A and B are shown apart, each in its own frame.
Chain A
């Protein structure tokens, strides 16, 4: 297999707060091949956004990457200098944020915000940069891009703003895009359009995508692989179809069960009891233990991630599938 576009190895990003050390990302590993989409799924506070920011090198104090490697096309981003990192950001690695209402600077025109991105990485004239900005806006489906370039963000709807943000991410045809719940704030039809365009992009340009979301239906439609995060750790990893059809980790199972469409009409909706534990005082052993219907004595110890079947990793002593249980 070729060198993956992104390979994260044992990444640890901790926040040193007054209340103690918050292990927002604790021993996370995954990789994304060229042109593939990895869905990173988890609840709020599970560390998925921090994982994204770690890749971009944008973890702010009191947070810090304390261990692991982030290999981007074979180069380690963790040890890279800030100026080298800045060359990659927005250029080879782009990020799309969750809330389109907040990602564009309200007091700067769209053209300013796009052209500065082009000029930050390419030595071209302003006119060429504007050309590029206009073409990209057209590419993401913004009508009459010439006029729209002169607008301010508040003159756009949420969906249009997210398209602008996506266009900014695409300006340099990056090799990797970290998308942090980019469609969460949008309505379903816009979400569908944007997903379709992103999918097309990944397959045509070979851009690898890390798609951070809590929405399993988005992952089902878009991603090739999926990694499920819980309390700063990846608890399950595998191909989308396999993970969603036969989840091994009880948490993944509960997560899938919580999707309303999976429930029968008239029955009470299923849910995972309890709530995500505070990262400041995780229970010893498996972090999911306290909410897990299958928890047993053995779960008092900390489970390691292990490969149950080819390409199926799970961090659990008592995984769901009987077959897997026997194999273990």
Chain B
């Protein structure tokens, strides 16, 4: 187990290294940040000074080496635009994205699993057919359009829910009354107002995931129900509830955990569209802005964090496998 974990971490290191190199070269190839960052009116001397200050006068490989040396010491560079450490910029916006992503995943499981289970157990019921038709909609409607429609209906016409921002936020320690709400990491889900701000973006993000979980669960249930061990479980005289929730459910959780894990990762990394539609101040917004101005330190730092996160999520998914499926032995597996 320990050997396995260590090997995975070493692999992760190489992935991060490779990724940083690719992004570094990639951003360099896209364009010159100097053109965007420095005002066109600036004279030659000012230009030179700025370029030296940003470290852009060195050849690319030297820039990369400087970056690596700093990265090893925990410094992922300063944003060209904000002149703040890139890492801090990203971490500031992370809670907003995290709570949105986890909220959406939570909705996906809480809504998707029961519906999928029902549709799998009663494939011919008209309710099941409705569920499946709905899931096709969830798959195919574009996120931004659904987001705009939700704003139009629930915020503009009905006026039930706020359409932009995070609302009132609070820190965990503040929530339990140990310190004022405003100090520490801020979360929207801890206040009623924040929650009401979260509902629409979370549902918007969850829609695709709910559909995914429904379809996965249904397919798994239908497949598992035909297995001999399910019939054998019934032949043992077990109640239908026990057969469904113990014998079937544990078997279908394996694909569901995989997909939900990866989905969680991509939601955290790329919920750009939803964050833009609902003006949710998360990481997605930051990365898009940074790409627009070729703010390379932020882009690189962001993607490094995302890669680490994906690796971690994959690791957690693999560990969950071993809990769910006794046949999986982690020691014998590669990545």
Instruction: Enumerate chain A interface residues (CB-CB to B < 8 A).
Output: 53, 56, 58, 86-91, 94-95, 97-99, 102-109, 113, 116-117, 120-121, 152, 154, 165, 168
Contact = CB atoms under 8 A, between A and B. Distances in A.
Interface string B130-165: 000000000000000000000000000000000000
B235 A105 contact: no
Interface residues of B, number: 22
Contacts of A104: 229, 232
Given A87-B237, A90-B238, A116-B236, A107 B326 contact: yes
7 contacts: A97-B228, A105-B247, A105-B250, A105-B251, A107-B324, A116-B236, A121-B237
Contacts of A91: 237
Given A105-B251, A107-B326, A99 B228 contact: yes
Contact of A107 (B233, B238, B242, B250): B250
B327 interface: yes
Interface of B: 227-239, 242, 246-247, 250-251, 324-327
Given A103-B232, A104-B229, 9 more contacts: A58-B234, A90-B235, A99-B228, A105-B230, A105-B250, A108-B247, A116-B246, A117-B238, A168-B236
Contacts of A53: 231
Given A97-B228, A102-B229, A152-B327, A108 B238 contact: no
Contact of B231 (A97, A113, A152): A97
A117 B236 contact: yes
Contacts of B228: 97-99, 102-103
A154 B329 CA distance: 12
Given A88-B237, A106-B251, A117-B237, A152 B232 contact: no
B22 to A, nearest CB: 39
B32 to A, nearest CB: 56
Nearest to B231: A58
Contacts of B246: 108, 116
Contacts of A105: 229-230, 233, 247, 250-251
B328 to A, nearest CB: 10
B281 to A, nearest CB: 42
Nearest to A118: B236
A121 B227 CA distance: 23
Contact of B232 (A106, A154, A165): A165
Contact of A95 (B235, B242, B250, B251): B235
A116 B232 contact: no
A89 B251 contact: no
B237 A103 contact: no
A89 B232 contact: no
B171 to A, nearest CB: 40
B327 A106 contact: yes
The 8 A-B residue pairs with the shortest CB-CB distance, nearest first, are A90-B237, A90-B236, A89-B237, A102-B228, A152-B326, A105-B229, A95-B235, A103-B232
Contacts of A86: 237-239
Scoring A53, A94, A95, A105 by chain B CB atoms within 10 A of each residue's CB, the highest score goes to: A105
Scoring A87, A95, A103 by chain B CB atoms within 10 A of each residue's CB, the highest score goes to: A103
Nearest to B224: A105
A38 B231 CA distance: 23
A88 B237 CA distance: 7
Contacts of B250: 105, 107-108
Contact of B238 (A58, A97, A116, A165): A116
A29 to B, nearest CB: 23
B235 A106 contact: no
B239 A120 contact: yes
A121 B106 CA distance: 37
Nearest to B323: A107
Contacts of A168: 236
Contacts of B230: 105
A247 B242 CA distance: 47
A120 B238 contact: yes
A98 B233 CA distance: 14
A27 B227 CA distance: 28
A154 B325 CA distance: 11
Contacts of B229: 102-106
Contacts of B247: 105, 108
Contacts of B234: 58, 89
Contact of A56 (B227, B235, B251): B235
B255 to A, nearest CB: 13
B167 to A, nearest CB: 42
